[in-house]
Chain A
């Protein structure tokens, strides 16, 4: 089955800095890669996703890149703000089947 590795497990940045979270996956059949933000006591919130026919996608301060050859995808957050502090999860889904396999999460702390 699919295995998703996520790094780093914790990330501390200063407000205004950029943050990058990286994930690798094992199943070459995976073709959908969402990112979720989870705040304490809440469910995961979909913030951005990318499909295998695209190499990069951007939405305001967040962007995701995908390298299918290397089985690697990353989340980039620019101009970080304290409200970006949360746990971020990457996930992967195999082609034609929408069950998600999640990474273990990255706790992002943005200090004012």
Chain B
């Protein structure tokens, strides 16, 4: 079946611009996670949804980062007034059970 998809795969933004990254989870998966992966590092947790409820946003690095999942399926991660330190790969994962998480291919964001 179809896995997790993310779009766009690559995004270049000028510093100060707003960006929106989309995640389509595996159909029927209740849980959805966003992670940020810096070059040469492991993924780091940003936020977690169960259906449409955002249960944990403790990993969001600043109030410029905002995530939503209004209908409990597709999710969008928005970054306002992008900064160079926001450059990273943004990964989305979904889970239909309590533990196993399946990742999408990621969106590589470059802020110039």
- Which chain A residues have a beta carbon within 8 Å of chain B's beta carbons? 4, 6, 32, 34, 36, 41-46, 49, 51, 89, 91, 93, 98-105
Contacts and interface: CB of A to CB of B under 8 A. Distances in A.
Contacts of A6: 42
Interface stretch (B14-22, B62-70, B73-81, B100-108): B100-108
Nearest to B46: A99
Contacts of A101: 45
Interface size class of B (residues with CB under 8 A): 20 to 34
30 contacts: A6-B42, A34-B99, A36-B103, A42-B105, A43-B4, A43-B103, A43-B104, A43-B105, A44-B103, A46-B103, A51-B99, A89-B42, A89-B43, A91-B42, A93-B99, A98-B48, A98-B98, A98-B101, A99-B33, A99-B45, A99-B48, A99-B56, A99-B59, A100-B43, A100-B101, A101-B45, A102-B44, A104-B41, A104-B42, A105-B42
Contacts of B35: 100
B95 A98 contact: yes
Given A43-B4, A44-B91, A98-B95, A34 B100 contact: yes
B82 interface: no
A86 B53 CA distance: 35
Given A43-B6, A100-B35, 20 more contacts: A34-B99, A36-B103, A42-B106, A43-B105, A44-B91, A44-B103, A46-B100, A46-B101, A49-B100, A89-B43, A93-B99, A98-B31, A98-B98, A98-B99, A99-B56, A99-B59, A102-B42, A102-B43, A103-B42, A105-B41
A32 B91 contact: no
B69 to A, nearest CB: 16
Contacts of A34: 99-101
B104 A32 contact: no
A51 B100 CA distance: 11
A26 B40 CA distance: 22
Nearest to B89: A43
A4 B43 CA distance: 12
